[in-house]
């Protein structure tokens, strides 16, 4: 099955997610006040709740931006990570609860390691905290933050102070017990991401 091995997050976080919308947020870099709208294609609301795949065009996704789509009533974060963020990820292992993604319930079998992605620069995560299902804030810049003076980019849940890196790996000593979930997904081509279907189950897969 397409979502085998991936658990659904707590549904309470939906209250913070504006359903039926697709937005781009979280531009990285000083002086950036707005980011362009990025197009995506989605099936009907009824089809999404039934688990139909969601197709997203990521051709206009710039470094440091996040595209949000909805799949099975959950926000899916598609983020293009910077080279600096990618370089920082291996340095965080000692601060994380599950740095090597050993908990196989949080991602498909083809996702592993510190990147937790098919393409190194593109992260795909379910945007719900694994503590109580709140929606964390993206803090993608590498800079000191009030909650972490040595912040290397990631996600911060203001509800109960859980922290995750830019791969969705959870920090040690926070309420969230596990990494953010990576949903089943594959690339139909370089710019077309399909959420909800594993690569092995994609049309034309061997």
Percentage helix, strand, coil for the chain under 3-state DSSP, each rounded to 5: 15, 25, 60
- The predicted model gives 162-185 an average pLDDT of 97
* CATH class given for the domain over 11-200: mainly beta
The reported pLDDT for the residue numbered 82 is 94
Give the model's pLDDT for residue 138: 96
Q: What confidence score (pLDDT) does residue 26 get? A: 46
pLDDT in tens, 36-89: 334 444 455 565 555 789 999 999 999 999 999 999 999 999 999 999 999 999
Interatomic CA distance for residues 178 and 123, integer angstroms = 17
171: left (phi over 0), alpha (psi -120 to 50) or beta: beta
Q: Three-class SS of residue 122?
A: strand
Q: What is the pLDDT of residue 161?
A: 92
DSSP 8-state code for residue 148: B
Length of the chain: 206
Residue where the block lists tokens 């498909």: 108
Which helix (DSSP H) or strand (DSSP E) does residue 87 occupy?
Answer: helix 83-88
- Comparing 50-59, 81-90, 120-129, 155-164, which segment has the lowest mean pLDDT? 50-59
Give the pairing type, strands 185-189 and 40-41: unpaired
Can you give the pTM of this predicted structure? Answer: 0.76
What would the pLDDT profile of 102-116 be if each residue is shown by its tens digit?
A: 999 999 999 988 999
pLDDT score, position 112 = 86
d(CA 35, CA 23): 10
Tell me: the pLDDT tens digits for 19-39? 444 444 444 433 323 333 344
Whether the Cβ atoms of residue 145 and residue 138 lie closer than 8 Å to each other: no
pLDDT digits 0-9 by tens, 188-197: 999 999 999 9
On average, the pLDDT of the chain sits at: 82
Q: What is the pLDDT of residue 8?
A: 46
The tokens describing 26, both together, are: 């979280």
pLDDT, residue 38, reads 40
Asked whether residue 165 carries a pLDDT value surpassing 60, the answer given is yes
Task: Quote the percentage of the chain above a pLDDT of 90.
Answer: 65
Q: Where are the domains of the chain?
A: 11-200
């Amino acid at each position: 099955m397409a979502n085998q091995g991936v658990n659904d997050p707590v549904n309470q976080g939906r209250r913070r997610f504006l359903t039926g919308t697709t937005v781009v947020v979280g531009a990285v870099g000083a002086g950036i006040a707005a980011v362009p709208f990025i197009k995506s294609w989605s099936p009907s609301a009824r089809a999404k709740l039934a688990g139909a795949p969601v197709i997203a065009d990521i051709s206009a996704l710039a470094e440091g931006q996040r595209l949000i789509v909805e799949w099975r009533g959950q926000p899916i974060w598609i983020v293009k990570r910077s080279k600096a963020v990618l370089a920082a990820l291996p340095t965080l292992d000692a601060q994380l609860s599950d740095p090597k993604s050993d908990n196989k319930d949080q991602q498909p079998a083809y996702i592993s390691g510190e990147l937790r992605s098919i393409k190194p620069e593109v992260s795909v995560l379910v945007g719900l905290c694994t503590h109580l299902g709140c929606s964390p804030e993206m803090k993608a810049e590498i800079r000191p933050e009030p909650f972490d003076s040595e912040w290397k980019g990631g996600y911060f849940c203001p509800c109960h102070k859980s922290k995750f890196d830019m791969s969705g790996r959870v920090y040690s000593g926070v309420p969230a017990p596990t990494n953010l979930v990576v949903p089943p997904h594959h690339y139909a081509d370089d710019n077309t991401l399909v959420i909800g279907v594993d690569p092995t189950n994609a049309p034309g897969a061997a």
